[in-house]
Amino acid sequence: MGFNEGLLVATRARQSLLCVGLDSDLERLPPHLLREFGERAVLEFNRWIIEATKDLVCAYKLNLAFYEQLGPTGLGMLEETLASIPEGVLKIADAKRGDISSTAKAYAKAIFDYYGFDAATVNPYLGLEALEPFLSYSDRGAFVLCRTSNPGAREFQDLECDGRPLYLWVAEAVARASERFGNLGLVVGATWPEELRRVRELVGDGLPILIPGVGAQAGDLERAVRYGTNSRGELAIINVSRAVIFASAREDFAQAARAAAQRLRDEIERSRPRRS
């Protein structure tokens, strides 16, 4: 099964486009977990969050930086966290990798073969050729940075190139490449709804879009869903991290995370276009 088909299976089975980002910053974890577990509180926290939300999500996205900063202990907790995610829920590595092909091949092997992620975020700055080692895994996804959610995205991504912004050239190149590789997608932030609309109109129905920026970054959820999904209300992943996992810093953190995830999942479902 190709990645896009697997994504449809996951979202349909769980009736959810919600992805929870496990950006488990040690400095923001509930104090009672830190007192009891120290650095390994990251793993304990993740297990509680997963248990509380696993029936509400289609995916979890793990930003590798929060695990790499803790060295071998953090990478071990990354592996154990992945093992805690149930079958049928996608695992996305927020890695933003992109390098010459020999290095990209090593990155892809680490993310897909060693850690067993289902998809990764990748950087197109070196050209799509540098991403081919990721694309050779037809059952895994590669989400290409297109119009990112941060304020500084304007600096380069909006630069006019032959009459239109650079991010649209990226979107078009990815759409063309998807005719050869069936596992490409785009990253477009919910903080830029008009740009998201333009990207979806350009690439059509076939490409999945990973949409961060809802929650702490104040992206527009309703427009993110309306503009980011295809004509069937599918092939979009709405990622929310801090607004879910840090909904409470007290001992009720898991219950608060579930309540936040339930609210978001329900709002997403209300905003999805009617299936045609």
Do 268 and 225 touch, CB atoms closer than 8 A?
yes
Strands 160-161 and 164-165: antiparallel
- For residues 196-231, one letter each, b for 16 or more C-beta atoms within 10 angstroms of the residue's C-beta and e for the rest, the string is bbbbbebbeeebbbbbbbbbebebbbebbbbbbbbe
Which residue in 58, 53, 61, 56 sits closest to 10, CA to CA?
58
Among residues 54, 91, 96, 105, which one is catalytic? 96
Angle 18-20-24 from CA coordinates, rounded to 5° = 170
Q: Decide if 199 contacts 146 (C-beta within 8 A).
A: yes
Give the residue from 188, 81, 18, 178 showing the smallest Cα distance to 10: 18
Q: Is 96 a catalytic residue?
A: yes
Residues 16 and 56 sit within 8 Å (Cβ to Cβ): yes
Query: Which amino acids are annotated catalytic?
Result: 96
